[in-house]
Homo-oligomer: A and B are copies of this chain.
Amino acid sequence: MSRGLWTTVSANEVYNNGRGLIIRCEEVRLPDGRVISDFYQVELPSHVTVYALTLDGAVVCLRQYKHGPRKVALTLPGGLIADNEEPLTAAKRELREETGFVSVNWTSLGNFTVGGNQGIGTAHLFLAKGAEMVQPPASGDLEEMHLEYHAPERVLTELGSGSFPVLAHAAAIALANIETKL
């Protein structure tokens, strides 16, 4: 009984915006037999975040407006995974589209569920080393983006002072720092 999984008895779609955002109200059964009639799940597309180091050892950053935190801030390249796209393929595509950089040296920094209780998709975090610019950026995104290159130590300082407001970016930066110092 202990350490047991929950069982989803039913999942009732209560909202769907037709563009990947779906809310489901689940009836779940706990290992001790209790039934919870309304445990909500939020489905959103999974996404990638890339901590890319140039050949010179600088981190490829983007300064842009993000509507989640509602401010212009430092971010890492990344974006939504397209239908049937592998996360690594999405990471390479987003890095190239948003920054013009490519790399042949990729490492996974992990895949993490965004919401421990509600799900909310998966954040796939990557480290790309030896990145080189091969084309001008052309993200096609709504946000205006400005490329910035910062030393890893500077990125950590900016992270500590709140300049990177998005959780997946903070995780990728911290994990990349640990990975590159192992």
Contact = CB atoms under 8 A, between A and B. Distances in A.
Interface of A: 2-6, 14-15, 17, 19, 21, 23, 25, 28, 30-32, 34, 36, 38-42, 44, 63-72, 75, 110-120, 123, 142, 144, 146, 156, 159-160, 162, 164-171, 174-175, 177-178
Contacts of A162: 110-111
Contact of A42 (B3, B42, B144): B42
B5 A71 contact: yes
A167 B171 contact: yes
Contacts of A39: 67
Copies in the complex: 2
B15 A69 contact: no
Contact of A23 (B23, B30, B165): B23
Contact of A142 (B30, B41, B120, B160): B30
Nearest to A34: B142
Given A2-B144, A69-B113, A174-B177, 9 more contacts: A4-B144, A17-B23, A19-B40, A21-B118, A42-B44, A111-B162, A116-B169, A156-B178, A170-B171
A115 B30 contact: no
11 contacts: A3-B64, A5-B70, A15-B15, A17-B40, A19-B38, A66-B116, A69-B113, A116-B168, A116-B169, A171-B174, A177-B178
A31 B174 contact: no
Contacts of A6: 65, 67, 70
B114 A36 contact: no
Nearest to A20: B40
